[in-house]
Structure 1
Amino acid sequence: MTAPTSATATGSGPGGGPLVIRLAGVGRTFAGPPPVTALHPSDLEIRRGEYVAVTGPSGSGKSTLLHLLGLLDTPSTGSYELDGIDTAGLGDRDRSTLRGQRIGFVFQSFHLLAHRTAEENVLLAQLYNRTPRARRRAAAREALARVGLAHRTRALPGTLSGGERQRVAIARALVNGPSLLLCDEPTGNLDSANAEAVLTRFDDLHAQGHTLVVITHDPAVAARAERSVRIGDGRLREPGRPAVDG
């Protein structure tokens, strides 16, 4: 059996904060034939308020790790605790509820509805929230203001730049007050100016105490984070150290 590889990444981070993510020996193998191990058993801890980049080339296991962290998939081995909650025994409904309450997603392709305004796209994240509509609308406007789009609440996605559309997606991810902001190649579809604008917003969110995990293949994006974890051939490793093989 492969020994768990440690991904206690570079940089000490704001030590002492509560753990948001704790992976212990987590691995993922897909049934064959032949079986394919997309993530070897690995450990990872991320504390509240940390900004962590996960880097690696295409096919390295980044997507598998993203799906596990986002509760979109379940590990074949090991345990995953999110905010101290052991996710192993949760059924599909409870996993969906936990995901909606604790995780905000930002994807490369924005995933905005073209016929809905910026505000309405953010409101979609609160679709099953029983809070009165006036409070939900106020929260959506506040989230848009936090990403610098208070003046674009009624704009349709087609009238926004790529960077503005990604900032709408960030606002949507933030509106429910998640414990974790999970970003998958968030600048992959942006030019350099718009990418810089989005990364500046991430810097601001980090300064405000948000926990960010950014999956990226871009070293310039990873350099903005305070910690970095590399994944290659399904193995998490600290930069400069080889993975542990069993």
Structure 2
Amino acid sequence: MSGDTCVIEMRRAGLTYPGPPPVAALKPCDLVVRKGEFVTIVGPSGSGKSTFLNIAGLLDSPTEGHYLLDGIDTGTLSDPDRSALRGRRIGFVFQAFHLMPHRTAVDNVALSMVYAGAGRKDRVRAAGEALERVGLSHRMNAVPTTLSGGERQRVAIARALAARPSLLLCDEPTGNLDSATAATIMGLLEALHSDGMTVLVITHDPAVAERGMRTLSIRDGMLSEGGV
């Protein structure tokens, strides 16, 4: 862990969807994730994991309380400023990869930085560095249809890393992979964490959850320390 800098800080943050009847998808919670932590979050389907992810990833705003990312109170930001903060500070890794099938690996990674305002040359350079970091420098010009599931997830992780975010937010990153490939991907996430990256993984897999420095659980919209 690198010092006491907070990457995620939730202060009685919660989200209730309007009714009728209103649904408290995430009940008010307090949470601190410090720079350099590796945190896993578990919970059954419908427990509130997706709502938590959406708040942490600045895709939704809490309807009560406060969410601070890198010390910035996100509730005070305009929508364009929230989008810009998300693009600079958060890298997303999803279960389904979400790669463009007819673009090369390096293009898929470089495209993630278009909205950051970088020129093409800088985007391609950063994309190449990110792919090298995940061990795919030899597959930069391959298209996703020629890559294995593990390689596609590595491209997705490289895409998340390209803009040098302060938080890597992973939603079921091993859900589409066999157990051996899943272990390899988790090893990569652990290596990135060892390099100082703050990593948060949402999972239903106990074997994945136990790889974190600490595990949180969500059940019926309630966030608590410890596994389910």
If the length of structure 1 is used for normalisation, what is the TM-score?
A: 0.90
- For the residue of structure 2 that corresponds to 1:194, the secondary structure is helix
Task: State the match for 1:188 in structure 2.
Answer: 175
**Shift in Å, 1:136:** 1.8
- For the residue of structure 1 that corresponds to 2:21, the secondary structure is coil
**RMSD value, Cα:** 1.3
**Shift in Å, 1:128:** 2.2
% identity of equivalent residues: 60
- For the residue of structure 1 that corresponds to 2:91, the secondary structure is strand
**Shift in Å, 1:98:** 0.4
**Shift in Å, 1:138:** 1.3
Change (3 A) 1:123 1:15: closer
CA distance in 1, matches of 2:18, 2:26: 13
The amino acid across from 2:41 in the alignment is V
User: Of 117, 128, 133, which aligns to 2:104?
Assistant: 117
**Shift in Å, 1:194:** 1.3
If the length of structure 2 is used for normalisation, what is the TM-score?
A: 0.97
**Shift in Å, 1:197:** 1.3
CA distance in 1, matches of 2:120, 2:23: 46
Task: State the match for 1:35 in structure 2.
Answer: 22
Task: State the match for 1:153 in structure 2.
Answer: 140
CA distance in 2, matches of 1:136, 1:129: 9
User: Of 74, 93, 99, which aligns to 2:80?
Assistant: 93
- For the residue of structure 2 that corresponds to 1:128, the secondary structure is helix
Contact map agreement 2:88 2:116 (CA 8 A) in 1: no
Deviations 1:194-244 (A, max 9, x none): 111111100100100000000011110011111111110000112279xxx
CA distance in 1, matches of 2:161, 2:140: 15
1:49 equivalent to 2:36? Answer: yes
Deviations 1:72-107 (A, max 9, x none): 001011000000101011111111000000000000
CA distance in 1, matches of 2:182, 2:125: 27
The amino acid across from 1:77 in the alignment is E
Deviations 1:134-180 (A, max 9, x none): 22211111100110101000000000010100000000000000010
User: Of 98, 109, 113, which aligns to 1:126?
Assistant: 113
Change (3 A) 1:203 1:240: closer
- For the residue of structure 1 that corresponds to 2:170, the secondary structure is strand
Task: State the match for 1:19 in structure 2.
Answer: 6
The amino acid across from 2:146 in the alignment is T
- Please, which runs of 5 or more residues in structure 2 have no aligned partner? none
The amino acid across from 1:45 in the alignment is V
CA distance in 2, matches of 1:208, 1:97: 25
The amino acid across from 1:95 in the alignment is R
Q: How many residues align?
A: 228
Task: State the match for 1:224 in structure 2.
Answer: 211
User: Of 157, 170, 186, which aligns to 1:199?
Assistant: 186
Contact map agreement 2:2 2:196 (CA 8 A) in 1: no
